[in-house]
Amino acid sequence: MTDLETRAPGRPGVLRRAAPALLGYATVRALGLLALALWSAARDKSAYTLLTARWDSLWYTRVAELGYGYEVRLPNGDVHSNLAFFPLLPWLERLGAAVTPLSFADAGFVVSLLASLAAAWGIFAVAEHVYGRRPAVCAVLLWAVLPVGIVQSMAYSESLFTALAAWSLYAVLTGRWVVAGTLAALAGLTRPVGLAVTAAVWVAAIAAFGRSRSEGAPDGAHGPESAPGDGARRALGVLLAPLGAAGYVLWVGHRTGKGPLGYLDVQAGWRNGFDGGLAFARFTAEKFTSFPSALAGVGLVVGVALLVRLYVACVRQRQPLALLVYAGIVTLLALCASSYFGSKPRLLLPAFPLLLPLALALARLRTSRSAPVVGAVAVASAVYGAFWLNGSGPP
């Protein structure tokens, strides 16, 4: 593989290398949608409505249709404002509805489907760059078969965010700093956790600058990421990365008249915040007060322990610093937020670097052994996703 091929993700050769992963991903997602359609039909529900017009999907389409300013006041005094939802997905929904016959909800569904494929390709690109093609295919399949993988096909922002994050990280790994900063800024316009992408760009840029200084050469004189003028491009990427999130948060502060912290007040109206995991710990502890719920408590403890173990494995396998910073912050924010606890699994969806140790282990198996394992997990994931969305929600 030439350096040019490695640094040009849009080249046909790169797409051909990713084709098996993308085909496998599309097959898993189609299986999930089929299971959802069959389960929903049996319950006399609309699978498409569950994907596009419930829970957060409704809030995004209201932003696309009506703009910001809509809020719901609950009997307990809480205020749910649509200012809590970052604007990139609604902007794309509005654009899709403007240039096609699609409704805002339809456009959101199309954006999510396309973004999920872009995310799968981005995950492949990152994993292939670090570990090679076979582990990269496995990483994409593992992301597809996650128990809450059905969210990747919903008119939610997780797929769009993961696509932007993955390609930004790939740009960091290949020294394309302006691209990395631009995609990080767009990720920051998609979800609050966009700060994880910004932090990854910043830390990687600082580390690259440190390496160039330690080599005793002018910045940008050595290594695959050190073309002439690379220092200036790196600095520009660092400056671009936070602009999306910072711009929206400052705008919300101006809109609410509460200054830079106005967005935190908006989130407080949804009872969202960062408490270091205290609320989640209390929620878990309460599960052990009776026998049936104690099983759920055990499951939560095991799940958190697994996440920690996977992150430790990422460190031991010497993943690039940008991936470690990104996955660490996404995981920390998901577990330590005082938000609705049922949403935590989907909040972890973008933390795809945690899957790389599992992808390496899966890649070591013969295809005759790994294929049945992935197939069985894909079926289980499809059934669980159908059951989950037909429940009380929200996911």
- For residue 393, what pLDDT is reported? 63
Q: Which residue has the higher pLDDT, 192 or 211?
A: 192
Residues facing residue 23 across a β-bridge: none
220 has pLDDT over 70: no
- For residue 12, what pLDDT is reported? 54
Q: Which residue has the higher pLDDT, 341 or 108?
A: 108
Question: What average pLDDT does range 57-61 have in this prediction?
Answer: 96
215 has pLDDT over 90: no
Percent of the chain with pLDDT over 90: 74
395 has pLDDT over 80: no
138: confidence class by pLDDT, cuts 50, 70, 90: very high
216 has pLDDT over 60: no
Separation of alpha carbons 18 and 141, rounded Å: 12
- For residue 392, what pLDDT is reported? 74
Separation of alpha carbons 160 and 127, rounded Å: 19
3-state secondary structure of 71: strand
- For residue 311, what pLDDT is reported? 97
- For residue 15, what pLDDT is reported? 82
- For residue 341, what pLDDT is reported? 74
3-state secondary structure of 272: coil
Q: What does pLDDT average to over the chain?
A: 90
The closest of 390, 347, 324, 318 to 49, measured between CA atoms, is: 390
Separation of alpha carbons 361 and 135, rounded Å: 8
281 has pLDDT over 50: yes
pTM, two decimal places: 0.92
Could you tell me the sign of the dihedral formed by the alpha carbons of 268, 269, 272, 275, in that order? positive
- For residue 3, what pLDDT is reported? 37
> Is residue 85 a contact partner of residue 63, using CB atoms and an 8 Å limit?
yes
The least confident of 174-178, 228-232, 341-345, 360-364 is: 228-232
331-366 as b/e: b if 16+ CB within 10 A: bbbbbbbbbeeebbbbbbbbbbbbbbbebbebbeee
pLDDT in tens, 287-320: 888 878 788 888 889 999 999 999 999 999 999 9
Question: What average pLDDT does range 207-233 have in this prediction?
Answer: 65
- For residue 194, what pLDDT is reported? 96
Separation of alpha carbons 148 and 170, rounded Å: 24
Exposed/middle/buried for residue 73 (C-beta within 10 Å: 0-12, 13-18, 19+): exposed
Question: What average pLDDT does range 195-211 have in this prediction?
Answer: 95
pLDDT in tens, 350-386: 999 999 999 999 999 999 999 999 999 999 999 999 9
Q: Which residue has the higher pLDDT, 184 or 394?
A: 184
